[in-house]
């Protein structure tokens, strides 16, 4: 079993508590829609050894009336980066050992008028210690009101910690969630940050604020749109848009690559892929 220090334990515990509250809220939305859908939890483990390699996580998955497919995963792992991959990781240098804990969420919605969403926050330890993460909204059929409210809530979280965070991390999300071969953004943005190092307490507080902002605003947007009537053309637009989402996650997403390169659970890593998609 990997040994955690106080900072690693604090981060892991909070990611797990955020997971529990998000899943409870999403199940509540399903109840409001007349569904009894609930999360199914699947623990997974890596092989532990005396060198601190090992750990694991829990994959949470729900398929319901509102959430066609939503995954909320928490993992806590330690080990060594292999070969050339270690050179791509912040702070790895000539020491391939690492620790990582975090929460990752992707929701694909049944109603095309309800935006899909991604949220991730994480704490990594190499020869440096840093937080990363963010949240971004991915509507097949965008509404200006939803986009504005989502960004406003993230800006509120950012501004409480650093007046420069929002514009910097908003731009980072715009640059990151871009599909070069299509020449389009994956969605309507949000914030993305990485390598936030230095004062642990300050950076952890900001990361918590991002998670709380997501838990506050996204359920409100879901409830606003989940009963909107839709037709076959709306569904076709949604499935075609999902194809773009899948392309980004399989070709460009760093989190997908990190999970596969560090021996993570394949089902949990690829839970971000939509249940149905089309390529016309």
Could you list the active site residues? Answer: 118
Quote the CA–CA distance of 95 and 81 in Å, as a whole number.
9
CA–CA distances in Å: residue 34 to residues 29, 30, 31, 153: 9, 6, 5, 29
Contact, 146 vs 224, CB < 8 A? yes
Contact, 67 vs 110, CB < 8 A? yes
| 144 phi, psi to nearest 5 deg | -60, -35
What are the residues whose beta carbons fall under 8 Å from the beta carbon of 171, sequence distance 6 or more? none
Quote the CA–CA distance of 135 and 119 in Å, as a whole number.
4
CA dihedral 146, 152, 158, 163 (to 10 degrees): 150
């Amino acid at each position: 079993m990997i040994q955690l220090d106080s900072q690693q334990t604090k981060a892991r515990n909070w990611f797990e508590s955020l997971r529990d509250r998000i899943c409870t809220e999403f199940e509540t939305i399903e109840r409001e829609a007349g569904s009894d859908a609930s999360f199914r939890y699947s623990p997974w483990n890596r092989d532990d050894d005396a060198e601190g390699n090992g750990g694991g996580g829990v994959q949470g998955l729900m398929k319901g009336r509102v959430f066609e497919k939503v995954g909320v995963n928490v993992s806590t792992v330690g080990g060594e980066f292999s070969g050339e991959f270690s050179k791509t990781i912040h702070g790895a240098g000539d020491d391939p050992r690492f620790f990582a804990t975090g929460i990752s969420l992707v929701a694909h919605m049944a109603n095309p008028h309800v935006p899909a969403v991604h949220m991730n926050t994480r704490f990594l330890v190499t020869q440096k210690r840093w937080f990363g993460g963010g949240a971004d909204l991915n509507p097949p059929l965008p509404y200006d009101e939803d986009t504005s409210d989502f960004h406003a809530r993230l800006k509120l979280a950012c501004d409480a910690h650093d007046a420069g965070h929002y514009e910097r991390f908003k731009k980072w999300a715009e640059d990151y969630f871009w599909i070069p071969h299509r020449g389009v953004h994956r969605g309507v943005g949000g914030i993305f940050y990485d390598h936030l190092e230095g004062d642990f307490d300050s950076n952890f507080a900001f990361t918590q604020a991002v998670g709380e902002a997501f838990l506050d605003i996204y359920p409100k947007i879901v409830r606003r749109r989940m009963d909107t009537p839709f037709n076959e053309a709306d569904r076709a637009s949604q499935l075609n848009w999902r194809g773009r989402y899948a392309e980004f996650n399989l070709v460009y997403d760093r989190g997908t690559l990190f999970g596969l390169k560090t021996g993570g659970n394949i089902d949990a890593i690829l839970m971000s892929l939509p249940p149905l998609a089309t390529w016309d």
